[in-house]
Structure 1
Amino acid sequence: MKQSKFSSFEQGRVAYQLLRWTVLVIPVSLIVGSLVALFLWLLETVTHIRWEHGWLLWGLPVAGVLIYWLYRLGGKQADKGNNLIMEEIHQPGGGVPARMAPLVLATTILTHLFGGSAGREGTAVQIGGSMAGWIGKQLRLSVADLRILLMTGIAAGFGAVFGTPLTGAVFALEVLAIGVMRYDALVPCLIAAVFADVVCSAWGIHHTHYHINYIDHPLVDSLPFIHLDVWLLVKVIVCGVAFGLSSFLFSTLMHNIKHNAQAYIKIPWLIPVVGGIVILLLSYIAGTTDYLGLGVSSKSPNGISILAAFEPNSSVNDWSWLWKLVFTAITLGMGFKGGEVTPLFFIGATLGHTLALLLGAPVDLFAGLGFIAVFAGATNTPIACTLMGVELFGTTHVLYFAVACFTAYYFSGHSGIYGAQKLEVRKWR
């Protein structure tokens, strides 16, 4: 390409844009990082309250009715959640209402207080998107700039809630459409995610730490150019297929539950009531409450949780992943609020645990692979999830992270948890 004689002027424009976006993004990061810190503190508080007062579970159907009416009275389009933010980025319309942030925060806390099986990513992203949209309106930004600011809100919310700013930035670029990424928001999203994570941590919020202790050894010692265990890589590919299929199962089941509930339960506020009753019955059948809430840790030291999935001799059983999948699909499909990602971590980690024992593979490594790969398949974001593996578990096994996430991405098909995600490039021709 011929070098422009105005290259120095172009670099000056680049420097100006970087400075401009830094100034625009800082208030987004400050507000979103602080609200996410409040959300995480409240989430931990209500989780311990529910552990101490098991009778709260019986109030889940009533909580569902309250959530329905809160959105009916004040939510309007806010009930569409993450999909509304993505639709506004694709095709600007009525905007993302600022009321989305307090509504989703309050209703997610209600869901967790009374035992719904949900996550936190959706709430954080909606907080980020609604606050970014509000700031953009106050500043009267152009449509193009508002789109980018909404993406920085996604990045800020995601990066702060998991303590993974690099993942948050790439996730905001990758999640909008299958097969393409938007690079016009690359630096603003990175700035937003990093600052929001710093702000969240400054409030004293600590994220869960996960560890993979397995050390890889080459299978063929006589071939020094092979730096990995080839047989283990084959097992990772096989499990990647299973992770992708479980992503497909979760997305399909959740969407079908939502569709059928709206089709067959004619009184809308009865939908969460029925969902709450079903969750109560499933808890009785399963004989445990470990599939409720986030599932990162358990009330009992010997309970089933994400952390337990990394231990070979834990209480995780062969069907723990399926139980959590069903609990979460019902909770979110029947009108309760929260995210899908942390339950996907649970599903993936416990499935990885089960497959590792079946295949004679390292449990902690495969729990970590499932952790990120099921998420990759359900959101169609394999690059972001590979980076999440690096940010959470370190760089030692990055090749296995990539193989698992990319394989799961392809075998999850064109389904996904976000209905507003566009299909730009098909996964096969």
Structure 2
Amino acid sequence: MNINLKYKNFFIVLGQWIFFGGLIGIVVGSVTAFLLETNDFLGEVREESGWLILLLPLGGIVVGYIYMNYGKVYLNNTLHDAAELNNLVIDGVHGKKKVLMRMGPIVYLGTFITVLFGGSTGREGAAVQMGGSVAEAVNKFFKANKSNTKIFLMSGISAGFGAAFGAPIAGAVFGMEMATLGKMKFEALIPCLVASFVGYYMTTAAWKVEHTEFIIHTVPEASMITFAKVILVSVIFSLLSISYCQLRHGIQKTSEKIFKKNHMKRAFVGGLIIVVLTLIVSSQDYNGRGLDMLEQSFKEDVPPFAFLAKLVFTAVTLGTGFVGGEAIPLFFMGATLGNTLHTFMDFPMSFLAGLGMIAAFSGGANTPIAAFLLAMEMFDGKGLEYFFVACLVSFIFSGHHGLWPSQKIYGPKSSLYNIANGETIDQAEKKKKSNV
């Protein structure tokens, strides 16, 4: 009788996870399709009307006003601020804070404004935050318990990522891997997998959204020298991700201190800086997502310091209060740096561009398994052994830095790092500075 009861409870829970994962996937997949299509349209409008970049400072005021007046909620004497972006979603998974249902619509509007006027950003961040908002709405409507609340939030993350990149397997793992460093909650695998696949099929099959394809034409033959070169460039890509994360967070902290967390003033000044930088480089290749140059880096030479320009443009854009995603900018940085290095390393251009694209993301997001699976889905399994090594090396050598300071460290990447279990990246960095 007890055995039958256990099986009955098991299938009830399994059924609930599949149902809720599917429900979250349907909604998130649909709204992500809207995000992708609208972003593409606004990006084309900006490219055809170059003068729109001059309005970016005014767009910053609007974005700042939205977050200052509609993005803050106090619950139980704790501030839940949508301006914390993915960090608020991560804190929601850990039960520290509450993901706001209004967060998704707000970040969509902020992303559209940023893209239209030429801020350097991606879009998957908006998809992930909308996923968190949808999951929170499901939690509230069905009155989910604390354990399921965390699982459904991870499912929302998975649905957003899988739908945004057309990579459902990577999306499923990303939802579990994003919130914590060194530990994954495998209990969430089924709802995350369901949500990611349903979100992906809603975006591609139901709404007919097409994702950008990147093709690796040639993969080098396996040898000790080849693997040694892959390890070397992976360390370089990890340093690239560290440089971006540190500059982006440094700009954010400095601008918040100077303007006393007035997002309107921060974004206005940030917009002015982007306008000046755009005039200096005499090109808008580094505004928006920069997909044209990202695709070009797989086929022909790009400017040798394109990766550095994108790093600065994106760090200023997001560090001063504009919103969007950071994965595509990291893809751009890694791919263009790989393009620059391919002659020195004697590797095929498309291979090293792809390697840089994935390795930079792995080091920045601290999600090596999801990054590896993303490479397998994007590049049809080509260079499997090289991408596996690159993701792990970049992850380890990037240290305890990352895109999201709220990521909790459940285990140091190496015994060389003196990190206490349970610290966040932000806490680890503050401790490191205090010891210097």
Calculate the TM-score normalised by the size of structure 1.
0.92
SS at match of 2:216: coil
Where 1:269 maps in the other structure, the secondary structure is helix
Q: Secondary structure at the match of 1:410?
A: helix
Tell me the equivalent position of 2:419: none
Q: Which runs of 5+ in 1 are unaligned?
A: 218-227, 298-304
Letter in 1 for 2:297: A
AA matched with 1:421? Q
Residue 403 of structure 1: which of 377, 380, 389 is its match?
Answer: 389
Displacement after TM superposition at 1:73 (Å): 1.5
Mapped partners of 2:58, 2:381: distance in 1: 46
Structure 1 residue 391: Cα displacement: 0.3
Does the alignment pair 1:170 with 2:155?
no
- The one-letter code matched in structure 2 to 1:20 is Q
Q: Match for residue 366 of structure 1?
A: 352
For 2:388 and 2:230, the matched residues in 1 are separated by 10
Q: 2:123 aligns with which of 117, 120, 124?
A: 120
Query: Do the aligned residues in 1 keep the contact of 2:118 with 2:287 (CA within 8 Å)?
Result: yes
| Residue 291 of structure 1, aligned match among 283, 286, 291 | 286
Cα pair 1:96 1:134 within 8 Å, conserved: no
1:261 aligns with 2:265: no
* 1:31-70 matches, cutoff 5 A: 31-70=27-66
Pairing 1:29–2:25 present: yes
Q: 1:8 to 1:319 in 2, by over 3 A?
A: farther
Residue 265 (structure 2) pairs with residue 270 (structure 1): yes
Superposed CA deviations along residues 298-349 of structure 1, whole A, max 9, x for unmatched, are xxxxxxx1101101x33x1221111101100000000001011100000010
Deviations 1:237-288 (A, max 9, x none): 1000001001111110000000111112345422111111111111122221
C-alpha contact 1:131 1:153 (8 A) present in aligned 2: yes
In 2, are the aligned partners of 1:92 and 1:143 still within 8 Å (CA)? no
Tell me how far apart the structure 2 counterparts of residues 140 and 186 of structure 1 sit (CA, whole Å): 21
Shift of 1:12: 4.8
Question: C-alpha offsets along residues 365-404 of structure 1, whole Å, 9 cap, x if unaligned?
Answer: 1100111110000011111100000000022311100111
1:204 corresponds to 2:246: no
Deviation readout 1:13-36 (Å, 9 max, x if unpaired): 433322221111222111111100
Q: Which residue of 2 aligns with 1:221?
A: none
In structure 1, what is the equivalent of residue 368 of structure 2? Answer: 382
Residue 307 in 1 paired to residue 303 in 2?
no
Deviates more, 1:320-329 or 1:350-359: 350-359
Structure 2 residues without counterparts, runs of 5 or longer: 73-80, 416-436
Cα distance in 1 between the residues matched to 2:26 and 2:203 = 9
Match of 2:398 in 1: 412
Q: Tell me the residue number matched to 1:147.
A: 150
Q: CA deviation at 1:8?
A: 6.9
Q: Deviations over 1:161-212 (max 9, x none)?
A: 0000111111111111111111110111000000000011110100011111
Partner of 1:230: 224
CA distance in 2, matches of 1:348, 1:340: 12
Query: Could you tell me which amino acid in structure 2 is paired with residue 238 of structure 1?
Result: L
* 1:248 to 2:242 alignment: yes
Separation (CA, whole Å) in 2 of partners of 1:284 and 1:146: 47
- 1:108-133 Cα offsets, whole Å, 9 max, x none, are 00000000000111100000000110
Equivalent-residue separation in structure 2 for 1:380 and 1:18 (angstroms): 29
Determine the C-alpha separation between the residues in 2 that align with 1:11 and 1:323: 57
Measured on the aligned residues, the alpha-carbon RMSD in Å equals 1.5
Take 2:6 and 2:386, find their aligned partners in 1: how far apart are those partners?
40
Contact 2:181–2:407, Cα closer than 8 Å, also in 1:
yes
How many aligned positions are there? 405
Kept after mapping to 1: 8 A contact 2:68/2:263: no
Query: Is the 1:99–1:130 Cα contact (8 Å) retained in structure 2?
Result: yes
- Give, in angstroms, the shift of residue 216 of structure 1: 3.6
The CA distance in 2 between the partners of 1:135 and 1:357, in whole Å, is 51
The aligned amino acid for 1:64 is: G
CA distance in structure 2 between the aligned counterparts of 1:265 and 1:153, rounded to whole angstroms = 33
The residue type paired with residue 406 of structure 1 is: L
User: 1:160 and 1:290 mapped to 2: Cα distance?
Assistant: 26
- Report the CA distance between 1:234 and its aligned residue: 1.2
- Matching residue of 1:81: 85
Taking the aligned partners of 1:8 and 1:234, their CA distance within structure 2 comes to 55
- Give me the whole-angstrom Cα distance separating, in 1, the residues matched to 2:120 and 2:357: 17
Name the CA distance, whole Å, in 2 between partners of 1:187 and 1:206. 26
Instruction: Please name the residue that 2:159 is paired with.
Output: 156
* Structure 2 CA distance for aligned equivalents of residues 232 and 392 of structure 1: 22
- State how far apart, in whole Å, the 2-side matches of 1:282 and 1:7 are: 67
Q: Give 1:7 deviation, angstroms.
A: 6.6
TM-score by length of 2: 0.90
Q: Which amino acid is 1:214 matched to?
A: T
Identity fraction in percent: 39
Partner SS, residue 294 of structure 1:
coil
| Cα distance between partner residues in 1 of 2:392 and 2:36 | 30
Partner letter of residue 38 of structure 2? L
Note if contact 2:65-2:263 (Cα within 8 Å) is conserved in structure 1: no
- Distance (whole Å) between structure 2 residues aligned to residue 288 and residue 92 of structure 1: 43
